[in-house]
Amino acid sequence: MKKKIVEVTKVETIAQDTIEMTLAAPGITTGIQPGQFVHINVGSNSSHLLRRPISIADVDLMEQTVTIIFKVVGSGTAQLGQYKVGERLEVLLPCGTGYPIDSINMSKALLIGGGIGVPPLYYLGKKLADQGIEVISILGFQSSSNVFYESKFNQLGDCHVVTDDGTYGYKGYVTDVVDQLSLKYDYYFSCGPTGMLQAVTNKLAYQDGYISIEQRMGCGIGACYACVVPTNDGTNGFKKICKDGPVFRANEVVLR
């Protein structure tokens, strides 16, 4: 993990309140695993003292860029969304522990993303597809106006979109689509709101899988113990989301 000054090279609203931003700097892509995040200093001392952790959606080794996608949910992400092409941001990256794809033996992967949990699965899917692994995606959104990256995921393999209100794709939740498709795969990889991850890990309790979780963070580098998740090993212990995660084995931690 390094501290870097990066240049914003692209800002685009790709769905309702959802911004895709590309960051460039020499060496920015070094050592990035899918599932890791960028910890961004979004503003001045007084307005936004805490950084905002945003997951990495894509990496371009040739152009030396990292793409992030975030939803404007509060004043911090709103301020981040105000940055324009050519402006500079100070970031820490890559942060956290991503999906251990090099140590997993598989031929078919299922990606299950919900809302703003979709972005890290794109870079993951791309890396898996590069390795010749078949990639199937189920992407859940609230409504048609929230849908993004469907065509990009379609380039990786079959992609199924589901919306809560049925205004686009299937109607219902990602777990309903899992039921309907009765897919065969070796591992699943999921990222999304806690409620969705609970439903997914319960439904797929007998499948090997990895989940990525989010939490309010302090330092973002493992020093302050703010973003922890209870472990599932009966020790009453905690894992640090920002350092041990945000990616965990599905049965490694307790979601609540």
Partner 1 sequence: MNLQTRLPGLDLKNPVMPASGCFGFGREFSELFDLNQLGAIIIKAATKEERYGNLTPRVAETSSGMLNAIGLQNPGVERIIDEELSNLRSYDVPVIANVAGSTVSEYIEVTKVLTSKAKVDAIELNISCPNVKQGGIQFGTNPELASEVTYHVKQASGNVPVYVKLSPNVADIVGMAKAVENAGADGLTMINTLTGMQISLENRTPVLANKTGGLSGPAIKPIAIRMIYDVYQHVSVPIIGMGGIMTAEDVLEFLLAGANAVAIGTANFHNPTVCPEVIQALPHVLNKYGFSSVEDAVGKGHEHETNLSRA
The residues in 83-102 that bind partner 1, with binding defined as CB under 8 A, are 90, 92
Q: Which range in 139-147, 160-168, 176-184, 210-218 contacts partner 1 by CB under 8 A? A: 210-218
105 neighbors 127 (Cβ within 8 angstroms): no
Query: Residue 238 interacts with partner 1 (CB under 8 A)?
Result: yes
Work out how close the CB of 62 gets to partner 1 at its nearest, in angstroms, rounded to a whole number: 27
Distance (Å) of CA 12 to CA 118, 127, 176: 17, 24, 31
- Contact track, partner 1, 123-162, x by CB under 8 A: ----------------------------------------
The residues in 65-84 that bind partner 1, with binding defined as CB under 8 A, are 76
Q: Which range in 1-9, 113-121, 125-133, 142-150 contacts partner 1 by CB under 8 A? A: 1-9
Q: Which range in 8-16, 39-47, 143-151, 161-169 contacts partner 1 by CB under 8 A? A: 39-47
Distance (Å) of CA 132 to CA 98, 109, 112, 127, 179: 20, 11, 19, 9, 26
Query: Residue 5 interacts with partner 1 (CB under 8 A)?
Result: no
Query: Residue 49 interacts with partner 1 (CB under 8 A)?
Result: yes
Question: Count of CB atoms within 10 A of residue 103's CB?
Answer: 6
Query: Residue 234 interacts with partner 1 (CB under 8 A)?
Result: no
31 neighbors 95 (Cβ within 8 angstroms): no
Distance separating alpha carbons of residues 230 and 245, to the nearest angstrom? 12
Residue 119: cis peptide before it, omega within 30 degrees of 0: no
Residue type, 64: Q
160 neighbors 138 (Cβ within 8 angstroms): yes
Residue from the set 9, 79, 145, 215 that interacts with partner 1 by CB under 8 A: 215
Q: Which residues bind partner 1 (CB under 8 A)?
A: 1-3, 41, 45-46, 48-51, 76, 90, 92, 215-229, 236-238, 243
